[in-house]
Structure 1
Amino acid sequence: MEKEKIHAYCLQLHATTHDYKEEWQADRYHIGEKMYAMIGGKGRLVLTLKCEPARAEVLRESYNSIIPGYYMNKTHWNSIYMDATEVPMDLVEQLIQHSYELVYSKLTKKAQKEIGLKETN
């Protein structure tokens, strides 16, 4: 996975904002001020994404490069090693979209209305 491709993919999602958290050495991506993706880690970089718990477990069992969320709630977040070759980019994009939609769905109705999320498919 290339960091630049993931960065570009996240930024094309409607109303995404990006920041860099210096103390975490991490790029963070938000919808409505709530994080849905993060690229960081000390040493080996990981992409961390929110995931529905049952799906998170299936992914961890299916791919050695997908682990419980690095420094996150292990039930609701997965991390994917950025140097992984076994996880196809189309799956990574689907997981980013899934994370984005999960976080969006948890925003207040007011915040959702302000964002005005467009249908993605």
Structure 2
Amino acid sequence: MDDMPVVDSWIADAIAALPGAVTVPYPDWGSQTFQVGGKHFGRLGGDPEGRRIVTVKGDPEVNAALVAAHDAITPGYYANKRLWISLAIDDPDLERDLVIEALENGYAIVRDSLPRRVRESLDPSA
């Protein structure tokens, strides 16, 4: 587990603010995954160029627009290129708020797909 990426505090804080969201190490891929209800909505790892990336589930149209608008955002590395995007989190041109928004959106997509009883167990106000 020595090769596992460390989750930056600003990302950890964003994940902690999402009801039921957890960070789970994924040693086989050398990454940290972000999950809700046992389902992945994001992953912190690296790409072939050695950049630290957060790969997040998203809406295909929004993903395409983000990829077109930002050099630091690419179709999901090692993921479905329509449903996932990768954000180079150390790129100075990429605002943290955009990364946090992508994480929140990915969380919402996955959370909304969970059975109602699971959603309710995450947050009684669901």
Q: TM-score under structure 1 normalisation?
A: 0.88
Aligned to 2:71: 64
* CA distance in structure 1 between the partners assigned to 2:9 and 2:124 by the alignment: 24
Q: TM-score under structure 2 normalisation?
A: 0.85
* CA distance in structure 1 between the partners assigned to 2:114 and 2:108 by the alignment: 10
Task: Show CA shifts across 1:64-116 (max 9, x none).
Answer: 11001111111100000122111211122111111110111111122112222
Equivalent residue of 2:87, what SS?
Answer: strand
Aligned to 1:93: 100
Gaps of 5+ in 2: 1-6
Equivalent residue of 1:23, what SS?
Answer: helix
- Deviating beyond 2 angstroms after TM superposition, the runs of 4 or more aligned structure 1 residues are 116-119
* CA distance in structure 1 between the partners assigned to 2:41 and 2:73 by the alignment: 16
Matched residues, percent identical? 25
RMSD: 1.7
Aligned to 1:3: 8
2:41·2:106 contact (CA, 8 Å) conserved in 1?
A: yes
* Gap change, CA 1:50 and 1:58, over 3 Å in 2: same
**1:77 is the counterpart of 2:84:** yes
Gaps of 5+ in 1: none
* CA distance in structure 1 between the partners assigned to 2:97 and 2:90 by the alignment: 15
